[in-house]
Amino acid sequence: MVSVRRDLGQNIFTVAFDVTEVENGYEFETAELPPGVWRRDLIISAIIRSRYNTDDMEAIHNNVLADLTDKEAKAAHTAMQQWRTKAKQWSRELMAWAEENGLAQAELMPDPEPHDPDDTVEGYDGVATLSAAVELAKDQATDLEDETAAKLPELFPLWINQLGKQLHAGERYSFVGRLWKVLQDHTAQADWMPDTTPSLFAEVAADQEQGTIDNPIPYNGNMALEEGKYYTQGGVVYLCIRDTINPVYNDLSALVGLYVQIVE
């Protein structure tokens, strides 16, 4: 079953799944999709996250990788994979239900924003529409250096719109208001989000010149550390004593002696 409500001009979809008939009716779970979208891949993601949040999934993956002989970790990982399989099945049923009950695509998508012919800006060639100017800026964004690009994530394609598509190393995408660079070629999947898969993405730093003791780099849990640079997390300053090469996501306090040292 699918319910729809309007919020700030956008449709918000709530899906009901894992429906079980009981004595007094039905029991089921629900999940809400991002505003204004109705796609199977996002239904799958919403159902998965109704049980496993980002921290849960990362912990389960890390635990099973840390010790492949750990039966408890393997059981938790198997349970998560089974939930993902169920999510895919329920998503197919929900898509079929929506179609059978006359929820046409036009009804499922938000109303388009009206175009304002007076919404114009002055450009090189005279007057251009604001939307054209924005598109021009987006086209030119690929040439921006990382330091500048990180301050303008809105000019880059949204990662959420790339699901199911092939992403290539070096490409940059916007996710949760920040900019991320692809580290290796892969097909975008709903559960391989930039902020939880350091093997596939690295956040693009907004200021490559920081990293001094007076201006340490805020550590966000998905960064490659560089020897000789200073980082800060939880009010503590750390000095990197060895390059990590690849992004790491452990707390810096867990890397003391291995990659960093605390600055007194």
Dump pLDDT digits (tens) for 73-100. 888 888 888 888 888 888 888 888 777 7
Tell me the average pLDDT across 203-228.
78
Residue 42 pLDDT class (50, 70, 90 cuts):
confident
d(CA 144, CA 147): 8
Q: Is the pLDDT of residue 28 over 80?
A: yes
What value, to the nearest 5°, has the Cα angle with vertex 45 and ends 44 and 49? 120
Q: Nearest Cα to 43, choosing from 7, 103, 84?
A: 84
8 Å CB contact between 247 and 226 = no
Residue 128 pLDDT class (50, 70, 90 cuts):
very low
Tell me the average pLDDT across 169-185.
88
Residue 109 pLDDT class (50, 70, 90 cuts):
very low
Res 110: pLDDT: 42
